[in-house]
Amino acid sequence: MTNRIDTVFAALKKEGRAALVTFITAGDPNATKSLEVLKALPAAGADIIELGMPFTDPMADGPTIQASALRALTGGADMHKTLQMVRDFRADNTTTPIVLMGYANPCFQYGFEKFASDAAQAGVDGLIIVDLPPEEDDALLVYTTPANLHLIKLVTPTTTEDRLKAILPKASGFLYYVSITGITGAASANFPAVKKHIESIRKHTGLPIAAGFGIKTPGDVAAFKSAVDAVVVGSAIIDRIGVEKVSVANDATAFVKTLRAAL
């Protein structure tokens, strides 16, 4: 069984272009508008969509995504609604990969086995669980592998070659390179240092590498595109959702178009 993530990276490799990965939080600012934005993202240029599973205590996230999760939770978001949102998206899009991103506890409370199975059936292609390092991910990995879900691993500026040996055997789909030591939405990444580190990581893996955290503008996207297989933009898109405007979807998608134009 092929996974949409693999299909997209294979196609873009032929095309010679890096993928645009966009992050939004499920249910932000409410269920209706969030689904509207989600559905509009592929046409605006998103190749892969990361859908945030809201959590009360997002310890790797900056103020923008914290506020976004809080808006979603206040609006009644939960894991069942997040999965329903994926099903609704899949009703008219069967090609754009969806990666659920979030923290371990909501998945653990849902039940790792049921979560992996329900997510795969809803049309999810991969998972990024920020606080589940290789030391603790076996309990979930036993269910994601048979469900054909990629459990995407994070690599950071603090990752040494020794550490890569613990991470790579468990990685699939793509590697998510956290381009700053810090939280989402923080200071811009140091591109030359990131590029150098990513080049050294490529010696150890053939997996596509995506860079995220601290990538905010079309300029950032343009700087990164030659060094990576995908760029991830999150907080800068959510900034367009968080403000009360007439059309959240239009603002967010217009911005995504400018990001895509930079690739």
Partner 1 sequence: MQNSLKQQPDERGHFGPYGGRYVAETLMPLILEVEKAWNAAKKDPKYWAQYDELQRDYVGRPSPLYFAEPTTKKLGGAKVYFKRDELNHTGSHKINNTIGQILLAMRMGKTRIIAETGAGQHGVATATVCARFGLPCTVFMGATDIERQKPNVFRMKLLGAEVRPVTSGAGTLKDAMNEALRDWVTNVHDTFYIIGTVAGPHPYPSMVRDFQSIIGRETRAQMLEREGRLPDLLVACIGGGSNAMGLFHPFLDDASVKIMGVEAGGYGLDKSHAASLNGGRPGILHGNMTYLLQNTDGQIEEGHSISAGLDYPGIGPEHAWLHDQKRAQYVSITDEEALEGFKECTRLEGIIPALEPAHAYAQVMKVAPKMKPSDIIVMNMCGRGDKDIFTVAEKFGVKL
Binding of partner 1 at residue 190 (CB under 8 A)? no
Q: Which is nearer to partner 1, 13 or 80 (CB)?
A: 80
CA neighbor of 205 nearest in space, from 168, 177, 178, 179: 168
Minimum Å distance from CB 59 to partner 1? 5
Name the residue type at position 133: P
Binding of partner 1 at residue 191 (CB under 8 A)? no
Binding of partner 1 at residue 78 (CB under 8 A)? yes
Binding of partner 1 at residue 181 (CB under 8 A)? yes
Question: Does 135 qualify as catalytic in the annotation?
Answer: no
Binding of partner 1 at residue 75 (CB under 8 A)? no
Question: What is the distance of C-alpha 31 from the center of its chain?
Answer: 19
Minimum Å distance from CB 223 to partner 1? 21
Torsions phi, psi for 143 (to 5 deg): -100, -30
Binding of partner 1 at residue 178 (CB under 8 A)? yes
Binding of partner 1 at residue 168 (CB under 8 A)? no
- Judged by CB under 8 A, the number of residues near partner 1 is 41
Question: Does 229 qualify as catalytic in the annotation?
Answer: no
Exactly one of 11, 57, 87, 146 binds partner 1 (CB under 8 A); which one?
57
Stretch of 21-29, 43-51, 176-184, 243-251 contacting partner 1, by CB under 8 A: 176-184
Place of tokens 């991910």: 137
The tally of CA atoms less than 13 A away on the side-chain side of residue 37 is: 30
| Cα 54 to Cα 68: distance, rounded to the nearest angstrom | 8
Q: Which is nearer to partner 1, 144 or 253 (CB)?
A: 144
3-state DSSP assignment of residue 132: coil
Here's the x/- map for partner 1, 104-133, by CB under 8 A: it reads as xxxxxxx-------------------xxxx
Q: Indicate the burial class of 16 (C-beta count within 10 angstroms; 0-12, 13-18, 19 or more).
A: exposed
Binding of partner 1 at residue 154 (CB under 8 A)? yes
Cβ neighbours for 241, distance < 8 A, ≥ 6 positions apart: 24, 28, 29, 33, 37, 68, 248, 251, 252
| Cα 61 to Cα 49: distance, rounded to the nearest angstrom | 18
Residues serving a catalytic function are 50, 61
Residues of this chain that interact with partner 1 (CB under 8 A) are 55-60, 62-63, 66, 73, 78-79, 103-110, 130-133, 135-136, 153-160, 163, 167, 178, 181-183, 186
